[in-house]
Amino acid sequence: MVIVGLTGGIGSGKSTIAKMFKQLGVSVYIADKEAKKLMNDDESIKKQIKALLGKEAYSKEELNRAYIASKVFNDKSLLEKLNSIVHPAVEKHFRNWVSLQQGEYVIKEAAILFENDGYKHCDYTILVTAPEEIRIDRVLKRDHTTREEVLSRIKNQWDDMQKIPLADFVIHNNNLEETENQVGKIHRKISC
């Protein structure tokens, strides 16, 4: 099975691109969504997160995302420790998921595919880009957060210029019709 990594900075439009591939019949694994499920449901992961961040990491046995974000987004060391708990579990879950899929290829959508070397386990990578102001505006509308919080989250991810040399394909997500055309071209190239 061919594995295609799909990534991009916050607000770049990864989810929109993932939906476009789904409409083409491609199975899509959303790593962030699956990570949240594992963090909520896997007792071993919960125990490790509580040991790292304290009991406040869970509220009524549900992941306390706001608390965790407040702890890790300004502390890279703590974020790396959290990632070292979650990422191996997500990778194992993903491998099991892939074994159940049909089709020529699957998409693994992950926000930090390059930052955590996840791209090394992919046959192809797709980077979604958009101008920073557009990204900020999208996140402000979607997450009802502050501009400062969005900028902080952007700072925790690699700049697009660091990612572009590692990507097999780059989708410039500025115009929906052009983006759909880019997705179609990539789909045809990978499907060949």
Reported confidence tier of residue 53, pLDDT bands at 50, 70, 90 = very high
> Into how many domains does the chain fold?
2
DSSP category for residue 156: T
Report CA 150 to chain centroid distance, whole Å: 16
pTM: 0.89
Domain boundary residue, one of 102, 127, 153:
102
61-93 per-position pLDDT tens digit: 899 988 998 898 778 899 889 999 999 999 999
Same-domain pairing of 92 and 112:
no
88-125 per-position pLDDT tens digit: 999 999 999 999 999 999 999 998 899 888 999 999 99
Same-domain pairing of 115 and 148:
yes
Is residue 5 exposed (0-12), middle (13-18) or buried (19+ Cβ within 10 Å)? buried
Which domain does 122 fall in, by range? 1-26+105-192
